[in-house]
Structures are given as C-alpha cells and as structure tokens.
Structure 1
Amino acid sequence: MTAAPLDLTDPAVVADPYPAFAEARAQAPVQWHEGLGLWLAFTHAEANAVLRDRRLGRLWTDKEPGDRFASFNLIHRNAILEMEPPHHTRLRRLITSAFARGHVERLRPWVEELAGRLADELVERSGGSQPVDLLTGMAEQLPVAVIAELLGVPEADRPLLRPWSNAIVKMYEYERTRQREDDAERAADEFVAYLRKLAADRRRNPGEDLVSHLVTVRDSDGDKLTEDELVTTCILLLNAGHEATVNVTGNGMLALLRHPDQLARLRADRDLLPGALEELMRFDPPLQLFERTATADVEIGGVTVTEGQKIAALLGSANHDPAVFADPETLDVARADNPHISFGAGIHFCIGAPLARVELQATFGALLDRASLLELGGEPVRHPEFVIRGLDTLPIVLTP
C-alpha cells in the first residue's frame, strides 16, 4: 500500500489539484492514502468502476452514537444517495415518479426569465467598468430560487435555505472543526423541522409543487414515502442540487474568462452552449471525491479492496485522464466525445441532472445575451476545501 502523492489539505492542491492528479495517474490507477485510510481511484476506468460496481456501495454509518448528530444522521440514513438496493430501488422509483409529472419542463420558462432578470441587474451594476460578484449576484441566487420554486417554499422563507445547506455540506470535508460540526447539526435540525411543517401543510393544501407530489406519490403496490424519506429527499435536492449548480457556474465562468478564445468561440456559435456546459463540468467539476465501501473483496485497478474498506473515485482526476480525453488539460467548448462523470454513474447517477442543465443553460445563456463583453474584474477567492470545489467570490465586469 503506497501513499498517494497528494495532500488534500495542501492549499496548492486545493487551488489546483490537476497537476497532482496527473502525477498520481502516472504512478498507478489506484493507490492507498494512509492519512484518509482509503483507496483512491485516479483514472477514468477505475473511477467509473468504483461508481458502477455493485459490490461497492453507499453504506451510511451514523456519525457518533447518541443525539449529537441526531438530525444530520436522520437526513442521511433516509437519503437515496446513502442506500443500496432494494431500498434504493424503491425510493428512487417513488421520487422519479414525482419528478415525471413534468416539473423540470414546467420550470424552464420561469428559470430563463429569472436568469435574464439577474443578468440584467449585474450588467446594470457593472456598466462595463465596475466589478460585480457573479456568485452573490447570480450564481447563488438562481439555483436556490429554482429549488425553492420546485418544492413550493414560500418566498418569505427562501433566505433560510442556502445557510442551512452551506452548514450541512461542510460535514463532507475531511478537515472539520467541532464548531462546523455543531453548525451542521443545528442547520440539519432546523431544516428537518421546517420541512416537516411544510409537508404537513401540503397534505392539507396540496398544490402543483414537488412536495405536494412527493406527499401523494405511490407505486404500483401502494407503497409511499415515509415522512423521514420525504424530508430527506427535499434536503438532498437542495444540498446536492444548488451546491453543484453554484459551483459549476463559478468554476465554469472562471474557466471561460481565463480562456477568452473559448468564450469568444461560444459567443460566436450559441449552438455550442449545451456541449460547452458539459465541457465546463468536465474541466473543473464541483465535486472532486465520492466514496464507496466494499461489501465483498473487489479488484479495482490491480489492487484488492477488501470487504469493509473504502475506496473513493476522484472525479476531477478521472475527467482529466488522457486515456479517455484528448488534450484533457485543454478547455474545448466544442469537445464532442465527453464521457465525464461529474454527475456520477450507475444507479446513483444524479437524479437532478436535467434540472441542473436547465439552470446552467439559462444562466450562461442570459450572461452571453445581456453582456457584449465579459471580463475578469479581480482575483477570485476559492473555497479552502477540496471535496466540494467552488469559489467564494468571482468579480467580473460586464459591458452592456
């Protein structure tokens, strides 16, 4: 078991992990990381196998016994992302049935209108000279508003959602303070209580929102979601959905601004936009690491992951594997062959991917429509964590 040649807490690796990934891929496709106590899969083939092999599962273990993480544990114990068949199969079928009522397409015009309004505000504030922050001015606002609209959260309550989500997702990092853990549990507790109240209201007064449909959905056997499953599903949609979209927007726009030839190419041919967004997700994905636990001995990349051991797919490393992607360190908005795994793979493929694509197309499309010129307006500030990769600020200048 050789130690992987990277420290995930090293500020240089957090700032730009891709050179370290390339060095690691050149040594071996799968390597043991002594500090984390798990295997890391660096190549596309091995990371993809980690995500698809049914002997490698998402097996939730509560954080500490007792009540310290009671709500945090509850929302993960009942989450589709943290379970395997047959429970996963049942829950995903019910959630997919509720989504199948046309929610994504119902929201598309509303999302495009909102994106246009936010882009107009940014252009007006910038005026071609004043830097404005894309994150707070648009990237953070749009996906939270979309998820809130999808779930039917009243306008007055929507400012509560992102702080709850931000606190909860800090628990996914490997270096955490006790204060962050306490903040995550407090946020989880408040979020659970809020959604129980919202679900109870939708039972009494159903609407056309997703919560109303999740309350009433049943499968062919008459099975339905438990209240804990419903609450957990709503929290997962917000946490996974909006965090990823915010970070793709920030990472992706920064990549375009640092590759002005590609931004100009996209502006000249707007038909490239859907494929360009896939390339931005490949080039600098919002989630870098995803764990699995072996339920039996599994051979991956020439090593044996023994039952009970963990192995993680490094999504950003896989997306830069030269065995799969030609010139992987080159941003190419017209890249045709792009089997990136930023949305995952296998049975845990992101259930919100269609909604994320609608949001991203609306966001980037609105910015390209409203601004004749987009430029970097200062040095961006990146999150100091590795697993969830994103920016805190991205100053840009938009010319009408």
Structure 2
Amino acid sequence: MRFDPWNPDFVAHPYDAYAELRRDAPVSYFEPTGQWLISRYADVNALLRDRRLGRAYLHTATHEEFGREPEPEFQEPFWRVVRAGMLDVEPPVHTRLRRLVSRAFTPRMVESLRPRVRAIAAGLVDTFVEKGGGDLIAEVAEPLPVTVIADMLGVPEADRPLLRPWSADICGMYELNPSPEAQHTAVRAADEFAGYLRGLARERASRPGEDLISALAQIDELTEDELVGTCVLLLNAGHEATVNVTGNGWWSLFRNPAELTRLREDRSLLPTAVEELMRWDTPLQMFERWVLEDIEVHGTRIPRGSEVALLFGSANRDPEVFADPDRLDVGRADNPHISFGAGIHFCLGAPLARIELIESFGALLDRADRLELLREPEWKPGYVIRGLHSLDLAVA
C-alpha cells in the first residue's frame, strides 16, 4: 500500500507503507499536500532539532515571500489563538513562553498530582467494571485527562463538558487538507474557547485560586492572548494524545495477547509498557515543520519555503534504531521513541501524560481480571492525530 492518508485502510495500518518509504524513498515529495515526507528515524530526529526549520515562518517572512497564500480572513480567530501558544512560535518568543509556563508547570507540581490522578482513574475504572464494561474510550480514556487538566486549570466542574468538544473541533484543523466544514468548526471552537478562557483569566487575576490559570494570570510578562493560547495548547496536547494512547494501546494489547498476559503477571513492566505502546502505535503520526533555510536530506535539496512532514509513526518502527520494530514488547528497555517530539518543542506535558497512562492502565489491570473485546474497533478518519472511535469491552 502506498502513502495515502485519506484511505481508511492506510489509516488503520500505515506501517507497511512506511517500511517501503524508509527503504525506497526516505525523502519524497507528496504532491496532494505539497509536503516532503521524511520517514527514517535519524532524519526525523535530526530535523526536529534543526533550527533551520520551524513550526512557524511568519517571524522570518510573509506568506507571499514563502510562496504561500494568506489564510482566509474567516480563520483569523483560530490562528490568533494557536499562534499565541508556544507550540506554534519560535525563539525568542517560544523561549520566553516556555520559561514562563514552566514556572507554573514544574516536575514537583506534576508529581504532586499523582495521588489525584490515581484516585480519578480508580473511580472511573470502578464504575466501568461495576457495570460490566462499555466503551473504554468514552468512559475511561476521555474523562481522565479532561478531569486532570480541568483540575489543573481550575475550570469549574459545571463547565467541563465544554472542553472535550472544543478540543476535538480545534484539532480538526491540523488534519491534512481539512474540509471547509472542518475549518469553520475549528474557528468557531477556538473563538468560543478563547472567549471562555479570557473571562476565567480576568476573574482569577482579581480573585486568584490554587490553579494554573490563577498562576499564569499573575505573570506580568504573559499577555492575555498568550495565556489563552497556552491554556488551549495544554488542553489539546495534554488531552487528545493521552486519550488516543489509551485507546490505541489497549487495542494493541488485545492484538498481542501474550504481551497483555505478560503485563498482567508483572505490573512492574507498566512504565516500559506505556513507552512501548506509544512507540508501537503512536497517536501523532505526523509532525510538520517549515523550512526556514535551504536544507539537504539524503542528497535531496529541500528549499526554503517548503514544508516537511516528519513521520513519527514510521520513525518509531525504524529497524536501524529498534530491534524487531514490528514486535510489541512491553519490556522493551532501549526505547528512544519520538512520540513526544524532540528539540525545543519537546512536549512539556510528557511527565503528566506518563503518570496518567501508568495509573489508567494499572487501575484497569488491577480491577478487571478478564477483559473481552466485543467487536473490532473502527479508526476515526483523521490521520495526523490518529485514534479509535470507540473500544467496546466486557468485563468478566
């Protein structure tokens, strides 16, 4: 099968196509999206760290100078939110934002959340088990990170049902060639979410509490747009990926029952299992970068103004780096997967994601002696952010 991100069969299993790309065309131009596909681990890893590439280019050139059409005017509310967060900016703005946000997102603070994460995971799993199962994604995978990030941000409980739909709608803009409907939906969600956060931030600036929005609202160097962009990023990045690692991960274990049995019998493998599940079927299959200066990869010149598509899913299965890469090994010790990225944009929330995943998987293994897959799940149509519609299980 060739690289075809709109083909449901490819989305369900892109790994054979990746193997062909790594072998025959490690650098190839994909006409439908106008991107250069980069498929080998060494190249993906190096380009993530290469400052001749960036998540944005408007700090160096106009759209016209990059040979790009300006975004339609209706998208302005979306880009205003996204380009105020640290993921879509470059130094020196990125350096300043990451430093400021890191003050309120310290490793000590994240680790202090573990008891709360454990309690939330236990409560969700207990309910799931007591009713004999259900859709693991809707009933466990989604509520856990949403509850955790809402607790961190200080979102009132009554408003929390708004967060997941906003997040999913905003992320629709990151798919390849999103439809006009998806674009308008993303713009609306970004505008609504930004308006909600502005109101909350102004309230916390005058009456601060013990939450992240309150902490960010006290930082003078952070503009209101930057605070909003940061909070949207924390929700989207810290939530969508964790949901999909959980769903993809359990589906991976069901397809590899010997590894599931191994994990049940040795719970000390949970940390390595979580890393392996992120490697074996990562939820973020592609990460895009703009070429700010001419580069050369494997003798292929990629000029300034181009966009490269770094194929994380392919890099994580590269046999040059991972022994027997198509085998799921929950005890894999040497596992430098790049599902959290690399370089200056390495995921700030990686420690929290690991806590959530270890506690979630552990709670289900502890409380459900036997899980039965009721039907083969279907993949959502998205390729860049890749996950299942549902995962229906019975608990025996």
Q: TM-score, normalised on structure 2? A: 0.95
Kept after mapping to 2: 8 A contact 1:173/1:387? yes
Q: Which amino acid letter does the alignment assign opposite residue 367 of structure 1?
A: L
Kept after mapping to 2: 8 A contact 1:203/1:212? yes
2:204 maps to 1:195: no
2:152 maps to 1:121: no
| 2:244 paired residue number | 247
| 2:352 paired residue number | 355
Following the alignment from structure 1 to structure 2, what is the Cα–Cα distance between the partners of residues 325 and 273?
19
2:230 maps to 1:233: yes
Kept after mapping to 1: 8 A contact 2:285/2:385? yes
Identity %: 56
Following the alignment from structure 1 to structure 2, what is the Cα–Cα distance between the partners of residues 151 and 308?
37
In structure 2, the residue corresponding to 1:299 is in which secondary structure? Answer: strand
Moved over 3 A (4+): 60-67
2:35 maps to 1:38: yes
Kept after mapping to 2: 8 A contact 1:287/1:387? yes
Following the alignment from structure 1 to structure 2, what is the Cα–Cα distance between the partners of residues 106 and 67?
43
| 2:66 paired residue number | none
| 1:72 paired residue number | 78
Kept after mapping to 1: 8 A contact 2:33/2:177? no
In structure 2, the residue corresponding to 1:379 is in which secondary structure? Answer: coil
1:67-123, Cα deviation, whole Å (9 max, x unpaired): 411220111221211111111111110011111284312321111001001111111
Q: Return the offset for 1:202.
A: 0.7
Q: Closer, same or farther in 2 for the Cα pair 1:66/1:282, shift >3 Å? A: closer
Following the alignment from structure 2 to structure 1, what is the Cα–Cα distance between the partners of residues 12 and 219?
44
97-106 vs 280-289, which moves further: 97-106
Following the alignment from structure 2 to structure 1, what is the Cα–Cα distance between the partners of residues 264 and 347?
29
| 1:18 paired residue number | 15
Q: Which amino acid letter does the alignment assign opposite residue 45 of structure 1?
A: A
| 1:221 paired residue number | none
Residue 289 of structure 2, aligned match among 288, 292, 297: 292
| 1:141 paired residue number | 143
| 1:54 paired residue number | 51
In structure 2, the residue corresponding to 1:174 is in which secondary structure? Answer: coil
In structure 2, the residue corresponding to 1:69 is in which secondary structure? Answer: helix
In structure 2, the residue corresponding to 1:247 is in which secondary structure? Answer: helix
Q: Which amino acid letter does the alignment assign opposite residue 271 of structure 2?
A: P
| 2:212 paired residue number | 210
Residue 107 of structure 1, aligned match among 95, 113, 116: 113
2:167 maps to 1:183: no
Q: Closer, same or farther in 2 for the Cα pair 1:379/1:101, shift >3 Å? A: closer
Kept after mapping to 1: 8 A contact 2:284/2:385? yes
| 1:91 paired residue number | 97
Kept after mapping to 1: 8 A contact 2:57/2:292? no
Kept after mapping to 2: 8 A contact 1:79/1:232? yes
Kept after mapping to 2: 8 A contact 1:9/1:175? no
Residue 269 of structure 2, aligned match among 267, 272, 279: 272
376-385 vs 359-368, which moves further: 376-385
Q: Which amino acid letter does the alignment assign opposite residue 111 of structure 2?
A: E
In structure 1, the residue corresponding to 2:90 is in which secondary structure? Answer: coil
Residue 28 of structure 1, aligned match among 19, 25, 28: 25
Kept after mapping to 2: 8 A contact 1:8/1:386? yes
In structure 2, the residue corresponding to 1:389 is in which secondary structure? Answer: coil
Q: Which amino acid letter does the alignment assign opposite residue 108 of structure 1?
A: R
Q: Return the offset for 1:294.
A: 1.1
What is the alpha-carbon root mean square deviation over aligned residues? 1.5
1:169-209, Cα deviation, whole Å (9 max, x unpaired): 01111142222211111111110000000101111111111
Q: Return the offset for 1:375.
A: 2.3
Kept after mapping to 2: 8 A contact 1:60/1:77? no
Q: Closer, same or farther in 2 for the Cα pair 1:76/1:261, shift >3 Å? A: same
Following the alignment from structure 1 to structure 2, what is the Cα–Cα distance between the partners of residues 366 and 185?
37
Q: Which amino acid letter does the alignment assign opposite residue 297 of structure 1?
A: D
Residue 322 of structure 2, aligned match among 307, 322, 325: 325
2:358 maps to 1:396: no
Kept after mapping to 1: 8 A contact 2:135/2:390? yes
**5+ unaligned residues in a row in structure 2: which ranges?**
64-68
Following the alignment from structure 1 to structure 2, what is the Cα–Cα distance between the partners of residues 313 and 321?
13
Q: TM-score, normalised on structure 1? A: 0.94
Q: Return the offset for 1:259.
A: 0.8
Q: Return the offset for 1:60.
A: 5.5
Residue 158 of structure 1, aligned match among 115, 137, 160: 160
2:15 maps to 1:9: no
170-179 vs 98-107, which moves further: 98-107
Q: Closer, same or farther in 2 for the Cα pair 1:157/1:269, shift >3 Å? A: same
